[in-house]
Amino acid sequence: MRKFAILGHPLGHTMSPEIHRRLFALSGREGEYEVLSIPPEKLRESFPLLRELSGFNVTIPHKVDIMEFTGALDESARRYGAVNVVDCRGPVTGYNTDCVGFLKAVQPAGADLSRPVCVMGAGGAGRMFAIESALHGAAVTIAVLERHFSLAEKVRGEILSLRPGARVEIMALDSLSGDFELLVNATPCGMYPHADEMPVGEAVLPRCRVVFDAVYNPTETLLLQKAAAAGCLTVGGMAMLVWQAVAAHEIWDGVSYRPVDIDALVEEMTREVARKFC
């Protein structure tokens, strides 16, 4: 039996096993899926164990350091300097499917990434959201706390190196202004157990057509609740989590899935999170 896993630390609340087991069932392919909680200081000594797997997913804090284990990197992994999927067949290859997950998640809402996009946060996820949006033609606003302006400037520089002439603006979260096709929350604000928090004031929301929150616990954050009340289309983080997992199976097995089945899986996992944690 082929073996797969999620690698990270800590991994007490991961939904990956449930998602991937369902994807194996949908594709008809066999595969065991386990949780490998390995602290950073023990990652390198765990390489022989990882090499015995057919493939694995990677989450915090190993997305960068795991690149030492890979012999090759896909373009997406090279672009973002981070890996979240490893294929151990033949040359060990690292991929980044978070970008695919993001694009697939906002697609059903009809988000047009050639129009203005605001990304709240400039960390790992925020950096990826901003770069992907810019590469698709968006005028990007990076909204951060003032103490994170230098980080946002680095992201702006990366965008301009990849797409010279791109329109990139940096704003403070507490003075955010403008009209946006898509507003993205890439901060932990609103994540359980701080579910009563929002990264931005309600006054911003009526000026946004689509609001995507990368947080998936709670399943409907306060930001999404307020956005829906303001008339926005909303997308929760579970959609991205499932779609990046789908991309992993496409890499491992060359399989494809019906969108209707993945939509149903997103709903199933959303209910599961609500049952377990909310």
CA atoms of 148 and 256, how far apart (whole Å): 40
pLDDT digits (tens, 9 = 90+) for 135-163: 999 999 999 999 999 999 999 999 999 99
In this model, does residue 13 exceed pLDDT 90? no
pLDDT digits (tens, 9 = 90+) for 196-223: 999 999 999 999 999 999 999 998 999 9
Read off the pLDDT of each residue in 94-105 and give the average, rounded to a whole number.
Answer: 97
Q: Quick one: tokens of 263?
A: 């939509």
Read off the pLDDT of each residue in 76-86 and give the average, rounded to a whole number.
Answer: 95
Contact 132, 98 (CB under 8 A): no
SS3 content of the chain, % helix, strand, coil (to 5): 45, 20, 35
Distances (CA, A) of 48 to 10, 37, 248, 258: 20, 15, 21, 36
In this prediction, residue 277 carries a pLDDT of: 66
In this model, does residue 63 exceed pLDDT 80? yes
Strand 3-8 and strand 55-58: the pairing is: parallel
Q: How confident is the model at residue 278 (pLDDT cuts 50, 70, 90)?
A: low
In this model, does residue 275 exceed pLDDT 90? no
- Torsion sign, CA atoms 125, 267, 247, 9: positive
From 3, 42, 63, 276, active-site residue: 63
In this prediction, residue 193 carries a pLDDT of: 82
In this prediction, residue 276 carries a pLDDT of: 72
Q: Quick one: tokens of 52?
A: 């015995």
Active site residue 63: yes
Query: Which of 109-145 are b and which e, b meaning 16 or more Cβ less than 10 Å from the residue's Cβ?
Result: bebbbebbbbbbbbebbbbbbbbbbbbbebbbbbbbb
